[in-house]
Amino acid sequence: QQQVKQSPQSLIVQKGGIPIINCAYENTAFDYFPWYQQFPGKGPALLIAIRPDVSEKKEGRFTISFNKSAKQFSLHIMDSQPGDSATYFCAASKYNYGQNFVFGPGTRLSVLP
Amino acid sequence: KAGVTQTPRYLIKTRGQQVTLSCSPISGHRSVSWYQQTPGQGLQFLFEYFSETQRNKGNFPGRFSGRQFSNSRSEMNVSTLELGDSALYLCASSLDSPGQGDEQYFGPGTRLTVT
């Protein structure tokens, strides 16, 4: 019940395309859903996060769509660029006097020039 | 403002040894979390410290332990190293709770190799 599933495992798109990465969770107690971007040799960096009380959030070219009833959320990257090539992780957590994040397995995105 | 720093960046140990990794959070951040990242298991939460107290713990054996000092710097220790402990160990800091509006900033990690 603590698992977060993520798909696809890898994704290749052309520059300007809109890659979509999907995540699904089981624990309805989760109340915070962030997405992280990780480049080789670096630690993950927070891209955007959403809470269950909203269905969509946009920050720049990144959009999270959230479907509470389906227990799914997805990341869309508009007008993707080669510099977006990285590994993307979704995560979920439940505030319980501190944090215990559960991460998806990651999606390796390649944006071709 | 300086980011999260971790030392050392690379470490090679042999089975049975113990290791201590260090993390200096961003100035003013009081929460420090540790994660293990491996190709097979992905990112897994180890534990979180806040004001020198362990607030939350993941599902790792007791060989993995940590502590936080009064200046918020944190260390994690792994005793009796096993080959499967080879991983990238990431530290992350936040002002208070990373899930309550406080962004969690990750360090570059310590790459531990157990031979």
What pLDDT digit, counting tens, does each position of B55-66 carry? 888 889 999 999
DSSP line for A49-110: EE-TT-SEEEETTEEEEEETTTTEEEEEETT--GGG-EEEEEEEB--SSS---EE---EEEE
What's the average model confidence in pLDDT over B98-115? 85
pLDDT at B44: 92
Q: B55-82: string of b/e by CB count within 10 Å (b at 16+)?
A: bbebebeeebbbebeeebbbbbebeebe
Which of these, A8, A2, A20, A23, lies nearest to A94 by C-alpha position?
Answer: A2
Per DSSP, what are the bridge partners of residue B66?
B76
What's the average model confidence in pLDDT over B2-18? 96
User: In one letter, which amino acid is B25?
Assistant: P
Does residue A98 carry a pLDDT above 70? no
Contact indicator for B75, B66 with CB cutoff of 8 Å: yes
Please indicate whether, in this complex, the C-beta atoms of A43 and B100 are within 8 angstroms of each other.
no
Cis peptide before B25 (omega within 30 of 0): no
Cis peptide before A52 (omega within 30 of 0): no
Q: Which tens digit of pLDDT belongs to each residue from A7-46?
A: 999 999 999 999 999 999 998 888 889 999 999 988 999 9
What's the average model confidence in pLDDT over A92-113? 84
Per CB-CB distance under 8 Å, the chain B contacts of A91 are 43
pLDDT band at A63 (very low <50, low <70, confident <90, very high): very high
Does residue A77 carry a pLDDT above 60? yes
Per CB-CB distance under 8 Å, the chain B contacts of A4 are none
pLDDT band at A100 (very low <50, low <70, confident <90, very high): confident
Per CB-CB distance under 8 Å, the chain B contacts of A46 are 103-105
Q: Which tens digit of pLDDT belongs to each residue from B15-55?
A: 999 999 999 999 999 999 999 999 888 899 999 999 999 98
Name the strand (E) or helix (H) holding B91.
Answer: strand B87-94
CA distance A74 to chain B (A): 18
pLDDT at B104: 85
CA A57 to chain CA centroid, Å, is 12
pLDDT band at B101 (very low <50, low <70, confident <90, very high): low
- How many alpha carbons fall within 13 Å on the CB side of residue A51? 8
What's the average model confidence in pLDDT over B77-85? 97
